[in-house]
Amino acid sequence: MDSLTKKSYELRRDIIEMIYNSKAGHVGGDLSVIDILTVLYYKVLNTSPDSRKDPDRDRFIMSKGHCTDALYAVLGDRGYFDKQEAIKTFSAFNSRFIGHPNTDVPGIEMNSGSLGHGIALGVGMALAAKLDGRSYRTYVVLGDGEMAEGSNYEAMMAASHYKLDNLCATVDLNGLQISGLTKEVLSSDDLGEKFRAFGWNVIDVQDGNSCPELLDGYRLAAEFKGKPSVVIAHTVKGKGVSFMENKKGWHHGVLTEEQYTQAVKELEEVLL
């Protein structure tokens, strides 16, 4: 097992602990997006706890903000704060680790989670970098369900118009949302063709839970000039825990003690 994949499964273990302790959280999406976050924060983003005030640090926006538990696990593991505080107090009364990204937490660039707003925030940051002559890149992670929001498409059009090749979006395409299959709730197929029609460079990652494939995709995005890029990552909701995989009921689910024990067992077996 490569080091990034190993790290992603260690972080899955943290997410399960966080969800079980809090009796809250969007575990299915957390487990589908964690490989994306692992690759970004350990290999791609030019940012660290020591560079939080550096004007040339890369920016990251978690547009699918309901999966902030996964982001907290990654940021804590990277040393932005004590990870155990997030695991033990997520969603608790008076905790700063609430259910959506907020700037009270070190490493969070913007309050986010109003679905469909992430690309617009990213466009603003990327355009500011162009205007200010800054070298930083901006990365945005979206869910496929939120692609039904029309504000995405206004922002996509603006990103292309301004040739924001310093902007990279990722769609965590796991095919499920809270009320069922995305294609049945409101189909957005084919997302790649939609982004192309709006003038984006499209990178299709067939296994969006493969850290090596994702790393290759982000390398291609960074090398591409003249257009914004999007990584379409085909993921599995609940990836890594057998009884959660591809189950809409785990969009937001509370683990019983038996389910918690089973999930931990499966993840630790992968890490052996």
Cβ neighbours around 162 below 10 Å, total: 15
Name, in order, each residue with C-beta under 8 angstroms of 270's C-beta and a sequence gap of 6 or more: 1, 9, 240
Model confidence at 257: pLDDT above 80: yes
**pLDDT for 17:** 97
Model confidence at 131: pLDDT above 90: yes
**pLDDT for 270:** 94
CA 67 to centroid of chain Cα atoms: 7
Instruction: Tell me what percent of the residues of the chain surpass a pLDDT of 90.
Output: 89
- β partners of residue 62: 141
Bond preceding residue 190 cis, omega within 30 of 0: yes
Helix (H) or strand (E) holding 35: helix 27-39
Euclidean distance between CA atoms 272 and 266, whole angstroms: 10
pLDDT in tens, 3-50: 999 999 999 999 999 999 999 889 999 999 999 999 999 999 999 999
Euclidean distance between CA atoms 69 and 19, whole angstroms: 8
Euclidean distance between CA atoms 191 and 246, whole angstroms: 20
Q: Mean pLDDT for the chain?
A: 95
Strands 59-62 and 167-173, by their bridges, are: unpaired
Mean pLDDT of 166-188: 86
Reduced to 3 states (helix: H, G, I; strand: E, B; else coil), residue 232 is: strand
Name, in order, each residue with C-beta under 8 angstroms of 124's C-beta and a sequence gap of 6 or more: none
Euclidean distance between CA atoms 78 and 257, whole angstroms: 29
Query: What DSSP assignment string belongs to 120-181?
Result: HHHHHHHHHHHHHT----EEEEEESGGGGSTHHHHHHHHHHHTT-TTEEEEEEE-SEETTEE
**pLDDT for 10:** 98
How many residues are there in the chain?
A: 272
Model confidence at 258: pLDDT above 90: yes
**pLDDT for 144:** 93
**From residue 115, how far is each of 111, 130, 194 by CA, in Å?**
12, 26, 18
Mean pLDDT of 68-77: 97
Round the CA-based radius of gyration of the chain to a whole number and report it. 17
Name, in order, each residue with C-beta under 8 angstroms of 94's C-beta and a sequence gap of 6 or more: none
Could you tell me the two tokens for 129? 């970098």
Euclidean distance between CA atoms 148 and 225, whole angstroms: 28
pLDDT in tens, 109-128: 999 999 999 999 999 999 99
Helix (H) or strand (E) holding 57: none
